[in-house]
Amino acid sequence: MRSFLTAVGLFFLTAGNALAQSDSPVVDRIVINGVMRIEPETVLTYLMLRKGDTATPERLDAGLKSLFSTGLFADVGLKMDGGVLTVDLVENPIVNKIVFEGNKKIKDDQLKDEISLKPRMVFTRSKAQSDTQRIVELYKRIGRYSAEIEPKIIKRSQNRLDVVFEITEGKPTYIRRIDFIGNKEFSSSELEEALLSKEERWYRWFTSTDTYDPDRFAYDQQLLKQFYMNRGYADFEILSASAELAPNRSDFFLAIVLNEGERYRIGKIKIDSRLKGFDAETVRDDVTFSEGSVFNQSKIEKSVESLVNAVGNQGFPFVDVEQKIDKNPDRTVDVTFTVKEGQHLFIDRIEIEGNNRTLDDVIRREFRFSEGDAFSAAKIRRSKQRIDNLNYFEKTDLAVEPSEDSPDRAVLKTRVSEKSTGSLKVGIGWSSYDGPLAEISVQERNFLGTGRTIGASASVAEKKTLFDISFVEPWFLNRELALGIDVFYLTRNYKNTSSYNSEMLGASTSLSWKYREELSHTVKYTIRKDRIFDVSETASRYVKEQEGTTVTSMVSHTLFWDYLDNRYSPTEGWYLSYSNDFAGVGGDTHYLRTDANIGYYIPLTDKWVLGLSAGGGYIVGLGERVRLNDRYFLGGGDLRGFESGGVSARDKTSRDSLGGQWQVTFGAQVLFPLGLPSEFGMKGKIFTDWGTIGEPDGFNAREMWYSSKLRGSIGIGLVWSSPLGPINIDYAIPVRKENFDETEYFRLNFGTGF
């Protein structure tokens, strides 16, 4: 009985639908009204009804919604009269131009890049509202929460309009106070130093760190956790973090509630190998921390990377290293590294996005692997570091995504955000050695997106003039072989030290390559013309006999080992350089020079760094005396407390500095914080410099003063990375010197850019 009733119901329902469809008219003709720019064929495409179709209510409703969804029309009407379907349309206007008024802190080009409306695009009110909100968010990013944006429409002919965004930027919304609650081991000022966000202060006028940015505040919480985890606090946690906007909308109050926990040290370190044929003890030295040291999460993560590289170098391409931390009641942490076979994954292809200017090949050549190679997390991290080191991009993201073709293959998606790579610098300054100076330089580090560097500079000072043009091709012959070309002109005034002036005009070309990441080699050829002129009448006879012009044709090479954590501001690691110069491949001068320098940096605390350095050089003439401008002159930057050239053989009558055939220097320096906010960029230093120099060959001892005794000095100084340029101030007192040495207690080097 139930089945019978169901069948009857279905019969009547089907019959009802068929009856309704039979009542709907058939479209004999379609009339389209109101279109000016849009072709009728386009309208028919979205209408989804054609001549001969049955105009059911459902199909008319679907056509209406489809036309609205295009965003091309402000109003749509469908009317069926007999067999005629009339489509009445009101087209949305077209944007003629977009204007921003009242904006000073954010430029027009930045705003245009962020909004969705563009000239010659269809205008909708929803897009205008969305763009208005986007501009508001942009102003919040720079700390202006009171900014107000009002979009206005100016109608033009032919259904066009201008969109004007009237902007009231308002005042900056500063971080008035940052409160830390629960900190016992570290002061609030120490914790604030670890954050990017800072409390508002008058001296932060050149930064935006004292304005509130929600993304920055979220990142600050990660930095705070990293701060504690790298100092032994493995239980650290942030209980809550809040940002409260004051009623005046000009101040933010940030509060972070934290639990420091206990401080841990490293207990046992174990390496557990689950790879067949691999001995874990062979990579124990690649662990970057030791038992008994303070727990440091960053060093543990660095050890994972080192172990992956070390195991891979032993012939295990698919390797994974997991870290496990076990906390003990005695506040020690046992760390276990488990070395096991990783997923058999290959890089199917590398996709690059965002490089609108930089060529694909410039980025691809920085990868430490090729398409088809085995996946290696360590090589991907190193590749990202190399791309970042190009300094062409604001941001670089490398993401590994599964390939649709095969489960054992992956796609490496590289997304970059380009930044300006050109620079124009104009500077004025003063140095203790060269006096007042002015300089201008132009450089492009990514010429036409090829990765090539081209630059020109000019510097004019009281005692020096320099003009230089340079070019570097980093991948010569499609190899990691850097070709450099340099043309230069230099004049110097040595009147105060050696009673003459010099002029140098020349050019050089070089090739540089790397044997491995830490060891590079440069071979260079230089040809130059040297002229010693304007020699004083009272000058030493050894200076007078050097007057005139010579041509030097020289081949050089330099080996450089770089194990520094940062080449420009090192805190840990060492470097070593060794070079030879051979002059005599043609030209008028013939000599062989050898130089070596080494530096070693030791972090004494988080912010105190000890730097040790030593260097030396020796030059020997090949069948002739070494000329004056090729000798060593000790003092100035390499031996503070003494004038440049202040330590060398010296003529007894004229007191001219005559230089020497060899020199040796060594010293130590400690950089330390001054207790000032990090934005000041100031560090103090304590140093001691020592050195000695050899005598020039073929000189009469009765006519000159010379001593090979060790000279030395101690001093204090200031390093300031000022917003206008670097400033170095040194005050050194010679503690061991000879009577004929020329001393210099105070030394200042200052440069500005604007």
pLDDT of 508 reads: 97
Judged by average pLDDT, the poorest of 272-276, 427-431, 521-525, 680-684 is 427-431
pLDDT given at position 11: 38
pLDDT of 10 above 70? no
- What is the CATH topology of the domain spanning 23-91? Ubiquitin-like (UB roll) (3.10.20)
The full DSSP string for 224-250 is HHHHHHTTT-TT-EEEEEEEEE-TTSS
pLDDT at 575 over 80: yes
C-alpha distances (whole Å) from 82 to each of 23, 26, 59, 173, 454 are 12, 8, 16, 65, 76
Q: What distance in Å separates the CA atoms of residue 578 and residue 580, rounded to the nearest whole number?
A: 7
Give 724's pLDDT tier (boundaries 50, 70, 90): low
Architecture of 174-259 per CATH? Answer: Roll (3.10)
Mean pLDDT of 449-460: 92
Q: Does domain 346-418 have CATH number 3.10.20.310?
A: yes
pLDDT level of residue 17 (50, 70, 90 thresholds): very low
Q: Does domain 265-341 have CATH number 3.10.20.310?
A: yes
pLDDT at 433: 65
> Residue 429: is its pLDDT beyond 70?
no
- The answer as to CATH 3.30.420.10 being correct for domain 94-168 is no
Instruction: Extract the tokens encoding 5.
Output: 């009733």
Instruction: Specify which of 195-209, 274-288, 419-433, 572-586 reaches the highest per-range mean pLDDT.
Output: 572-586
Listing from the earlier edge strand, what are the strands of the sheet with 649-651?
657-659, 649-651, 704-705
Q: Mean pLDDT throughout 189-218?
A: 84
Mean pLDDT of 196-224: 84
pLDDT score, position 751? 47
Q: What three-state secondary structure class fits 622?
A: coil
The amino acid occupying position 344 is H
Q: What is the mean pLDDT of residues 144-161?
A: 89
The answer to whether residues 421 and 414 touch, using CB atoms and an 8 Å cutoff, is no
Average pLDDT over residues 388-412: 85
The DSSP bridge pattern shows strands 725-736 and 548-562 to be unpaired
d(CA 366, CA 317): 20
In this predicted structure, the answer to whether residue 320 has a pLDDT above a threshold of 80 is yes
431: confidence class by pLDDT, cuts 50, 70, 90: low
* pLDDT band per the 50, 70, 90 thresholds, residue 644: confident
Residue 15 pLDDT exceeds 70: no
Looking at per-residue pLDDT, the higher value among 571 and 4 belongs to 571
pLDDT at 392 over 70: yes
328 — pLDDT class (breaks 50, 70, 90): very high
Q: Count H helices, E strands: the chain?
A: 12, 36
Mean pLDDT confidence for 220-244: 94
CA neighbor of 657 nearest in space, from 597, 616, 699: 699
Confidence at residue 691, expressed as pLDDT on a 0 to 100 scale: 97
Range 696-722 average pLDDT: 90
Question: For residue 675, what are the CA distances in angstroms to 179, 399, 566, 608, 687?
Answer: 20, 41, 23, 12, 19
How is domain 559-751 classified at the CATH fold level? Porin (2.40.160)
- Computed over every residue of the chain, the mean pLDDT equals 87
Q: How confident is the model at residue 407 (pLDDT cuts 50, 70, 90)?
A: confident
Task: Return the percentage of the chain with pLDDT > 70, whole number.
Answer: 94
Q: What is d(CA 448, CA 471) in angstroms, rounded to the nearest whole number? A: 13
Report the pLDDT averaged over residues 406-430.
Answer: 81
CA 711, 714, 716, 721 dihedral sign is: positive
Nearest CA to 90 among 80, 79, 76? 76
Give yes or no for residue 264 having a pLDDT over 90.
yes
| 174-259 and 346-418 share one fold | yes
Check residue 44 and give its pLDDT.
Answer: 84
Q: Which of 211, 208, 209 is nearest to 195 (CA)?
A: 209
Structure confidence at residue 165 (pLDDT) = 95
Look up the pTM and report it.
Answer: 0.67
pLDDT (0 to 100) of residue 1: 41
Confidence (pLDDT) at 725: 60
Q: In the predicted model, what is the mean pLDDT of residues 622-626?
A: 92
* Mean pLDDT for the stretch of residues 702-725: 87
What is the rounded distance in angstroms from the CA atom of residue 740 to the CA atom of residue 655?
Answer: 8
Read off the pLDDT band of 430 (50, 70, 90). low
pLDDT at 750: 61
Residue 726 has pLDDT above 90, yes or no: no
Q: Taking residues 294-317, what's their average pLDDT?
A: 86
Inform me whether the pLDDT recorded for 12 exceeds 50.
Answer: no
What is the percent of the chain with per-residue pLDDT over 90, rounded to a whole number? 47
- C-alpha 606/C-alpha 190 separation (Å) is 11
Domain boundaries, the chain: 23-91, 94-168, 174-259, 265-341, 346-418, 559-751
Residue 81 has pLDDT above 50, yes or no: yes
Question: Exposure pattern of 630-652 as b/e (b: 16+ CB <10 Å)?
Answer: bbbbbbbebbbbbbbbbbbbbbe
Q: Residue 159 above 70 pLDDT? A: yes
Q: Which of 622, 617, 633, 613 is nearest to 579 (CA)?
A: 617
- Which pLDDT value is given to residue 754? 32
**At 3, is the pLDDT very low, low, confident or very high (cuts 50, 70, 90)?**
very low
pLDDT for the residue 592 = 97
From the list 246, 242, 175, the residue with the least C-alpha distance to 211 is 175
Confidence of residue 549 (pLDDT cuts 50, 70, 90): very high
454: Cβ contacts below 8 Å, ≥ 6 apart: 443, 444, 447, 470, 471, 472
